[in-house]
Amino acid sequence: METRQRKFSIVLLANFFFFLNFSQLILLPKFIIHLGFSTMDIGLVMGVFNIAVICTLPLVGLLSSTLTRKALFFLGSLVVVLSTYLFIYVDRVGIWMYSLRIAQGIGFALAFGISGAMVFDTVIGARRRRYLGLLTASNMVTHAIGPSVGEYMIACYGFVYYFLSASIFGLIGAVIALGLPSIKDRGYLIHHRLNPRSVAPFMAGSALLGVIFGSTVVFLPPYLMTVGIENSSLFFITFVSGGFIVWVFLYRFFKNTSRLVLYAASILMIMILPLMVSFIRGNRSLVCLALLFGIGYGYLYPTLNGLTMSILPRTKGLANVLFVWAFNLGMALALFAFGIMTSMYGYKKSFFVVGLSGLLLFVLMVFLGRHRTTSDYC
C-alpha cells in the first residue's frame, strides 16, 4: 500500500506543476486583448491548441503500448515548457503565436493524455474513482494558483515575467516526472479489438463536457472585464474550491448515493453559471455561481474519465487518450463557435446556448450510468 501511495504522490506532484504551467496560460486571452486583437482572435488562438491536442492524441494512444508513461509525460512537459518560454518573443497574433500554441497542444497531449491511466496503474478497485477525483481536484487547484500568480505577474512585472514564471512551473513538473513509474499498456492496440459502439457514448459525454467547460473558463474572464471585474482570479479560486470540496470533504457523504441523482445534481450545477452569467453584478454573485460550477465539474470530469477507462481495462492508456481526445474536440468546437457567436450575438446569448447543452449531457449520463461494464468502477 505504501508503494502505491508513493507512486500516486509522484503522479500527483508531476501533474500539479505541469498544470501550473498550463493553467497560467488560461489568461492568454488577456494577452491577446492587450495586443489589440478581438474575441474572434481569442477563439482561434485558444482553439488551435485543442486542434493540436486532437491531432496528436491518436499517436499518443499508439505510443502508449511502446513507450512508457514516464517517457511520454517527460517529453510532453519539456515541449510545453519551451513553447511557453518562447511566448516572450511574441508581439502579435500571427504564425509565430499559432505555432507555439500548436506546440503546447502537442506537449499537452503527450503528458496529460496518459495521466489518468497512471492513476489506474497505481490504484486498484473502487478506490480508483476517488483517486481520479483527487487528481482532478489537484489539477483544478492549479486553475486557482496559476491564474492568480499570472494576474500578479502581469500587474506587477508585465507579460514577459508572466510567461517566464509559467515555464518555470512546468520545468519543475518535468524534473519530478523523472521519478514516475515506467509502465505501459500490456499489449499493442491490434491485439485488443476496439468496439466503437461501446466507446462512442463515453466520448460523446466527454465532448459535451468539454464544450461547457471550454466556453465558460476561457471566455468568462474577458466577459468579466466588460462588467467591471478586471481581476478574474476570484473566479478561478472559487471554481477550483468546488472540485476540492467534492473529493476531500463530500466524498464520504455521496459515495453511496444513487448515480442518477449525482449526475442530475452535478450537471445542473455546471449549467447554472453559463445560463445566469447576465446576473453577475459583482464578486458575491460570481463566487456563488463559480462554486456551483466547480462542484459540478469536479465530480463529472473524473467520473466520466473513470467510466471510459473501465470499459477498456487492458489498454487504459488508449482509453484515457480517447477520453481526453473527445474532451478537447468539444473544447475546440466550442472555442471556435463561441468566438464567432460573441462577435455576432454578444456574450450573454452565447453563454445561454452553452448552458442549454447541459441537457444533452444529462440524457447521455443517464444512459452511461446503466452501462453494465462500468459497475465495478462506480
Domain count, the chain: 1
Say which residue the cell 478506490 belongs to. Answer: 127
Residue 276 maps to a domain: yes
Residue 153 maps to a domain: yes
Residue 378 maps to a domain: no
In the predicted model, is pLDDT for residue 20 greater than 90?
yes
Average of pLDDT values for 126-148? Answer: 76
Give the residue numbers spanning the domain of 70.
Answer: 2-372
Residue 377 maps to a domain: no
Residue 338 maps to a domain: yes
- 323 close to 309: Cβ distance less than 8 angstroms: yes
pLDDT computed for residue 88 by the predictor: 92
Record the cell numbers describing residue 166, joined without a space: 509559467
More confident residue, 118 or 288: 288
Mean pLDDT is lowest, of 17-26, 188-197, 285-294, for 188-197
Record the cell numbers describing residue 40, joined without a space: 474572434
Question: What phi and psi values does residue 161 have, to the nearest 5 degrees?
Answer: -75, -25
125 vs 120: CA distance, rounded Å: 9
Average of pLDDT values for 336-357? Answer: 86
- 45 close to 32: Cβ distance less than 8 angstroms: yes
More confident residue, 245 or 270: 270
Please enumerate in sequence order all residues whose Cβ is within 8 A of that of 299, keeping only pairs 6 or more positions apart, or say none.
Answer: 133, 246, 262, 266
* Helical H segments across 113-232, by residue range: 115-122, 127-156, 159-177, 196-226
Residue 346 maps to a domain: yes
**CA 10 from centre of chain:** 19
pTM score of the predicted model? 0.72
Mean pLDDT is lowest, of 81-85, 102-106, 184-188, 263-267, for 184-188
| CATH number for the domain harbouring residue 253 | 1.20.1250.20
Residue 252 maps to a domain: yes
pLDDT computed for residue 186 by the predictor: 56
pLDDT tens for residues 322-339? 888 888 788 878 877 887
pLDDT tens for residues 159-213? 999 999 999 999 999 999 888 777 655 554 444 455 666 777 888 889 999 999 9
